[in-house]
Structure 1
Amino acid sequence: MKRFTYFMPLMPLIALLTMCAPVVEEELRPHSIEQPIAQPSERDMVVEIEGQKIEPLPTDDFITETEKQWRALFPKVYEEVRYVLYTSAPHYAFSLTEIHPQDLNDMIEAIAKNSRVDTYVVSWQAEYRGVSGDVYFTYRYEADEIAKQRVFVANEVERIASEIIEPHFDEYERVKAIHDYIVLQTAYEMELFESCGEEGCETLEAGHTAYGLLSNRLAVCEGYARTFSAFLDEVGIENYYVTGYGDDVLHAWNMVKVDGEYYYVDVTWDDPVPNQQGKVHYDYFLVPTEELYGHAWIREDYPETAKTRYVR
């Protein structure tokens, strides 16, 4: 029996402090999948796993171009793997007639690291013999705890959005209200950041999740960015969860679409450190690619932005 084991860095996305000066951006080289890439098509397929029908999520197309390539190459496997990760299932059975184990590993990594929703996955191991294989996933918490946290996040996002978003708000006003709420209600978790290195933290703390931000009001970049995405989804703003580097440290932020054009928003870097009550920065609010200073990422994975920052 052959096997491979993959351990995700336990917190792959660590925000650098907003007080640090920007550095010259070094763009990351895009990775490639060395197979012919099919064009994504309209996805009306419904997958069944263990008798359950899995409908495509509303935010299906707000993913990286790399993930879209995996989806086009292996649509059935892609849907099944994402369902497993989003439901914290411990096991996935696959066939080597459908996908090579290394491709499966790379697909899982692409989905897990770039998911707008917290997956809580720590590692996975695949075993295969002949044409059959199994992947076993390890999560930070038990399934019932993960489910509880996801329900809490969904309820809090719905409740808070109803309080801070007025019916007459346009897209810009909705994005700004959410940005400001997160900054004003959250403090950057210094102790968690200082316990991390470039390869990630030794332990997964709540501050890396939307649950941690909304329950403890403390977070690092993953918590900020995924919470921002959750709110934007709630109020109907097209957005992406973006991963890369901030001043050479693993980092996460967002892309949003306002008035027909895309912009980047880094809520983490707009939150003063140390925390200042009532203070909100806008240095990284609705900026184009050329003004996202100090950030490095696979630009081709995301839509092109406007040429200038949004001004109102």
Structure 2
Amino acid sequence: MGLKPKKTLIVFIFIFTAFFSSFAYAEGQRIFEKDEAEYINRIYKDLPTASLKTDTRSLESVTYVSSLEQLESMLYDAMTDRKASFEAVYTGGTSDMLNDMEAVFENVTASDDYLKFSYTFISYGYSGYPGNYRIYYNMTYLTSKEQEDYVDSRVDGILSEIVLPGMSSFEKELAIHDYIVKNVEYDTSYKEHSAYAALAYGKTVCQGYSLLAYKMLEEAGVQARIVEGDESMNHAWNMVNIDGNWYHSDLTWDDPLPDVKNRTMYTYFNLSDERMSGDHFWDKATYPDCTSEKYSYMNEVTYPVTMDGRLYYSSSIDDRLYSMLLDGSVRQLICPDRSLFLCGYGDWIYFSNYSRGGYIYRTSTDGSSTEIINNVHSTYLSIDGNELTFLNEGTDQTEVIYLEPLAPQSIELNKDSLRITKGGSSSVGFGMYPAGASGDIIWTSSDTGVAQVDSSGNITALSGGICILRATVEGTEISDECTVIVEDPAESSEAEIIDYKREIDPGKKWAVEFSGALSKEISIADLVQVTQRGLDSGACAVFGEEDNKIEVIPPAEGYIKGKSYRLCISKDVSSSDGISLEKPVVLYFVVD
């Protein structure tokens, strides 16, 4: 499959289009001024985009801005919320109001690549007197606030499924790259440009690929940029920072055109400036240097399958089946035949054998055994559960081969811990191993008064506290767990929540140390209490051996495993000098 023609790839390039209506006149000793300007995204220069003018003299409510820094912050918030306009009275200093407004806008977009590639048009202007300018910005965008909320929600959900605990930055990038390339196709009508279109419609152009990759990488904790091609190249792609080194990554050009289902390429994955500049052109002065060639081994990988820490792939050089570790080491030839459309299941790699009629074969992951599965030309292989689906090229029909179900050996949740606000909800994804293993999952919460979980792993936060979420493969003892912390904003405003702890000792004795000696006149047993769902747990607080310490003795029978406990120190606890706490101090804990 060839790469997409470069002439069809589009990018936002912003050009200054007009100054107009600039004038000033004297009124006594004061000079009345007015000026306006606009930027238009060059991709929309031929569209009937009307300038949205604001009459700033008739504002019903007035926002006052006293500095350019404050203006920058407020404009950023307005654009992030996809506001169509922002209006204010500027009372701060300036030597050139219009130029300062332009600089503020440029600072806002320079600070956030996602925002820079999401707006389509902006006009701005001011009128009035120095120290009392009425200013406005009018903006149009690719998407609405509701659509961006959809993007945020979908990105959170996708990342919860594909990013697992302990993944390195490289592994996160790889998972995000593969998800986008496999689930998004290039929009040959050139109508869709956003991350929203990529997720909602499954198609977009280069801006949408780059915006979605940027959003997912940043949310996964991987620093990223969106690169804008220069005047000779209307195109956009990403840069990504892996372990302190920057790399180019062009997901658009790694996605074949026409779209090939389940095919992933890495031709433009983690390239250096030198290699990228062969057919990509950009202003190098405005972006970080990319000098590392660490991941060049990935550029020949197609149809990747990751299993047990190894990467199995068809080489774009000779189409043969290889495996290697994720760092590119310990490379091994698994099958000498031309192997396409790879899928992993158990200890086998299934593929279409183009050296033998395109029939489906399978090869053991160590390369010691190869077997034929069918005798028809088969393409577009995919495995879901124990169903191997493929396209029969002879009949042009999709067919299914049912593989022997695999017993799960382990399950891994994609989060070790999770914080939710009371009344909110979240979810936890999981992976079952080996690849292709299946089984029903039983979800449980150790304290349903804190958080409840349904049969799909969706969590509802009910009250402040801490509990343990557990996923167990039905009929087995195979399980994994996640610590769930529920924060109650109302309680946090009235008390100092110092921590949420997970302990293993039901007989845990808590030691509390204060900054000064405690008054012996206070009743520690009444002022320091441990409760469970508002009921006394049976724990008892006593003065410690030192005059600034107390000890909390556990109940005689110990704390109940899995239940959320609340240790509260009343604000009436006072020092020997009569100084009390400003507010109650609370520690939540659970014993596992």
Q: What TM-score bracket applies, with the shorter chain setting the length? A: 0.5 to 0.7
Q: Which of 220, 231, 248 lines up with 1:264 in the alignment?
A: 248
User: What SS does the aligned partner of 1:122 have?
Assistant: strand
- Cα distance in 2 for residues equivalent to 1:112 and 1:259: 26
The residue aligned with 2:158 is 160
In 2, are the aligned partners of 1:244 and 1:297 still within 8 Å (CA)?
Answer: yes
Please give the residue correspondences for 1:237-256 in structure 2 after superposition, counting only pairs within 5 Å. Answer: 237-245=222-230, 248-256=232-240
Please tell me the residue identity of whatever aligns with 1:136. Answer: Y
In 1, are the aligned partners of 2:82 and 2:141 still within 8 Å (CA)?
Answer: no
In 1, are the aligned partners of 2:113 and 2:225 still within 8 Å (CA)?
Answer: no
- Cα distance in 2 for residues equivalent to 1:220 and 1:95: 43
The residue aligned with 1:226 is 211
Please give the residue correspondences for 1:92-171 in structure 2 after superposition, counting only pairs within 5 Å. Answer: 92-93=87-88, 94=90, 97-98=93-94, 100-109=97-106, 111-112=108-109, 115-117=113-115, 119-131=118-130, 132-140=133-141, 146-171=144-169
- Cα distance in 1 for residues equivalent to 2:107 and 2:229: 13
Are residues 291 and 95 of structure 1, via their aligned partners in 2, closer, same or farther at CA, if it must alter by over 3 Å? farther
Please tell me the residue identity of whatever aligns with 1:242. Answer: V
- Give CA-to-partner distance per residue, 1:145-172, whole Å, 9 cap, x none: 7221111111100111111122232211
The residue aligned with 1:6 is 38
Q: CA deviation at 1:249?
A: 3.0
- Cα distance in 1 for residues equivalent to 2:113 and 2:189: 25
The residue aligned with 1:200 is none
Q: CA deviation at 1:271?
A: 1.1
Structure 2: gaps of 5 or more residues: 1-32, 45-61, 298-327, 329-592
- Cα distance in 2 for residues equivalent to 1:280 and 1:95: 55
Q: CA deviation at 1:128?
A: 2.4
TM-score in terms of structure 2 length? 0.37
Are residues 85 and 301 of structure 1, via their aligned partners in 2, closer, same or farther at CA, if it must alter by over 3 Å? same
- Cα distance in 1 for residues equivalent to 2:43 and 2:213: 18
The residue aligned with 2:72 is 78
Say whether residues 1:189 and 2:183 are aligned partners: no
In 1, are the aligned partners of 2:247 and 2:292 still within 8 Å (CA)?
Answer: no
Are residues 163 and 210 of structure 1, via their aligned partners in 2, closer, same or farther at CA, if it must alter by over 3 Å? same
Q: Which runs of 4+ in 1 moved over 4 A?
A: none
- Give CA-to-partner distance per residue, 1:93-141, whole Å, 9 cap, x none: 3457246312422542464486314644422131323321412313248
Say whether residues 1:211 and 2:196 are aligned partners: yes
Q: How many residues align?
A: 238
User: What SS does the aligned partner of 1:181 have?
Assistant: helix
Please tell me the residue identity of whatever aligns with 1:170. Answer: S
Farther off after superposition, 302-311 or 167-176: 302-311
User: What SS does the aligned partner of 2:211 have?
Assistant: helix
User: What SS does the aligned partner of 1:305 have?
Assistant: coil
Relative to its length, the structure with more helix (as a share) is: 1
In 2, are the aligned partners of 1:213 and 1:219 still within 8 Å (CA)?
Answer: yes
Please tell me the residue identity of whatever aligns with 1:152. Answer: Y
Are residues 119 and 278 of structure 1, via their aligned partners in 2, closer, same or farther at CA, if it must alter by over 3 Å? closer
Q: Which of 263, 268, 271 lines up with 1:284 in the alignment?
A: 268
In 2, are the aligned partners of 1:88 and 1:119 still within 8 Å (CA)?
Answer: no
Q: CA deviation at 1:50?
A: 5.5
Are residues 238 and 127 of structure 1, via their aligned partners in 2, closer, same or farther at CA, if it must alter by over 3 Å? same
- Give CA-to-partner distance per residue, 1:252-292, whole Å, 9 cap, x none: 21111112211111111111112111222212111111111
Q: CA deviation at 1:231?
A: 0.7
Larger RCO, structures 1/2 (Cα 8 Å, 6+ apart): 1
Are residues 261 and 140 of structure 1, via their aligned partners in 2, closer, same or farther at CA, if it must alter by over 3 Å? closer
- Give CA-to-partner distance per residue, 1:168-212, whole Å, 9 cap, x none: 3221111011011111111111111xxxxxxxxxxxx5x211111
- Cα distance in 2 for residues equivalent to 1:91 and 1:243: 27
Percentage of identical aligned residues: 26
Structure 1: gaps of 5 or more residues: 13-48, 52-72, 193-204
Are residues 214 and 259 of structure 1, via their aligned partners in 2, closer, same or farther at CA, if it must alter by over 3 Å? same
User: What SS does the aligned partner of 2:123 have?
Assistant: strand
- Cα distance in 2 for residues equivalent to 1:307 and 1:281: 20
CA RMSD, aligned part only? 2.8
Please tell me the residue identity of whatever aligns with 1:232. Answer: L
The residue aligned with 1:65 is none
Please tell me the residue identity of whatever aligns with 2:256. Answer: P
- Cα distance in 1 for residues equivalent to 2:98 and 2:63: 22
Please give the residue correspondences for 1:20-59 in structure 2 after superposition, counting only pairs within 5 Å. Answer: none
Farther off after superposition, 256-265 or 289-298: 289-298
User: What SS does the aligned partner of 2:127 have?
Assistant: strand
In 2, are the aligned partners of 1:112 and 1:121 still within 8 Å (CA)?
Answer: no
- Cα distance in 2 for residues equivalent to 1:259 and 1:125: 41
The residue aligned with 1:273 is 257
Please tell me the residue identity of whatever aligns with 2:114. Answer: R
Farther off after superposition, 126-135 or 104-113: 104-113
Point out the structure with max Rg over C-alpha: 2
- Cα distance in 2 for residues equivalent to 1:298 and 1:245: 6
The residue aligned with 1:173 is 171
User: What SS does the aligned partner of 2:238 have?
Assistant: strand
Farther off after superposition, 100-109 or 227-236: 100-109
- Cα distance in 2 for residues equivalent to 1:109 and 1:285: 30
In 2, are the aligned partners of 1:86 and 1:119 still within 8 Å (CA)?
Answer: no
